[in-house]
Structure 1
């Protein structure tokens, strides 16, 4: 039955590659964020940071480097939340009915969509990291090539688990929706609050109490923490704050993402078992 799983995977990957506008926009958007927003705001934020010099022996990180990790996380979230759109197309054009009527287990449908979404997110993350290095992002400083490769793998593991969680959430929502417009509205409603209540663009230490509480349960916060620990290091200074990530912090972040993925998989599995086609 493995070929049925791979068929769903390759169908989504071919759709991603063949829709040139989707492919280009998914890669161009994060580049624009870093090249325009990141570089433009970097000079301003770095000037503010000059009033709070780093402690002796602690590496100071510029805003461009700080927010680059957030751009990777943002791209992974947007790509994953859009992953369920393929199920809307399947329902609209009758492909879903044929897949559910076939001998293919329904779990293979979720697995194929999940793997294709993770693959897209990982490819995009690698491209964003490479582009960031070209424009001056200080990732993997003082790391040898083998250490940098290990760091990249660590980032991709975090991205993969995070993407799976949002792909399952997106699939659960899509299986309950009947129109692309409704799905797009929910994606927009979820993505922007999650992005701006995380540590993707700025530290959460100065957030109001309510927003701090939201950041604690926001999966994006834990992904950004994991990316920064691998890409920048476990001890650095940015925005007037000293960051020190321990092994416990990284394990906690990874565990939180695994828990999130488990919960959303349960939702997606329930949705695919009880999907109703009209």
Structure 2
């Protein structure tokens, strides 16, 4: 019973690996998104900002590098929000009834799904970073091997914490919904505000006051800031705007992600304690 969550974890990971189409699509789609959208938008932004003054004392990166962190965050968001769908299918196929009636504590189901989704996010983040470097994304430029290792750990800590929060949210939604169509509608409704009020694709400095306030409390904004801090640096310029991050700011961003994950875990645990599957 103590390792019940490992059973849930391995079952979901085996399903992820054995479904070759799902595995291929989940790894290739974000890389293609970075390639086509990133390169196209990079050319446009660089043409628009070519006449802006450049500070010689600050490192300047292209839009492709700027958006690289956003694509990692975007992929983590989508993967995590849809990660709980497996619970809905289990419920509709009767497998969830068997799981909940077994000696495994219900909290182990939440933890197992969370860990498997977090592992998938790690794999996708690594693939995107590797593919981005091949495309010319300027991650870890000038870093020593030790700094690269430290930065990779930092990125994965941020990605893992963020993904857990949204996986717990997805699990709470899945155990509540009755149909895949209803869950997809709810997730789509949630995805748009999180994605477009973040700093994933563009700076938030020019946002209206309301959207700027939403971006500050948006977990996706904190994830993107953390990735850029570790992958690009604490002081750089992109699309004509200078970005500076202090260790204190990044620590606060991580605490925000940790708090979000904790709240979502409590919500998921509450929903699982109330659910009755027949």
Q: Distance in 2 between matches of 1:221 and 1:54?
A: 26
Distance 1:135 1:221 in 2: 24
1:229 aligns with: 229
Partner of 1:77: 77
> Structure 2 stretches of 5 or more lacking a match?
none
User: Equivalents in 2 of 1:266, 1:245: separation in Å?
Assistant: 31
State whether residues 169 and 267 of structure 2, in contact with CA within 8 Å, keep that contact through their aligned partners in structure 1: yes
Is 1:55 aligned with 2:34?
A: no
Across the two proteins, how many residue pairs are aligned to each other? 278
Aligned-partner Cα distance in 1 for 2:6–2:120: 15
- Which aligned runs of 4 or more in structure 1 are off by greater than 4 angstroms? none
- The residue correspondences of 1:3-22 to structure 2 (distance < 5 A) are 3-22=3-22
Q: For 1:28-67, what aligned pairs fall within 5 Å after superposition?
A: 28-67=28-67
- The answer on 1:137 being equivalent to 2:150 is no
Q: Deviations over 1:75-98 (max 9, x none)?
A: 101110011101101101111111
Deviations along 1:47-88, one digit per CA (max 9) or x if unpaired, are 222222232310011000000000000010111001110110
Q: Give the match for residue 212 of structure 1.
A: 212
Deviation at 1:188, TM superposition (A): 1.0
Taking structure 1 as the reference length, the TM-score comes to: 0.98
Query: Contact conserved, 1:49 with 1:238, CA < 8 A, in 2?
Result: no
Write the mapping of 1:67-146 to structure 2, written as runs, cut at 5 A. Answer: 67-146=67-146
CA distance in 1, matches of 2:51, 2:214: 29
2:31/2:127 contact within 8 Å kept: no
Give distance in 2, aligned partners of 1:52 and 1:270. 53
Query: Over aligned residue pairs, what C-alpha RMSD do you find?
Result: 1.0
Partner SS, residue 276 of structure 1: coil
Q: 1:276 offset after TM fit, Å? A: 2.1
- Provide the C-alpha distance between the structure 2 equivalents of 1:155 and 1:15, rounded to a whole number of angstroms: 26
With normalisation by structure 2, the TM-score equals 0.98
Residues 83-131 of structure 1 show CA distances to partners (whole Å, capped at 9, x for unaligned) of 1101101101111111111111111111100100000000110111000
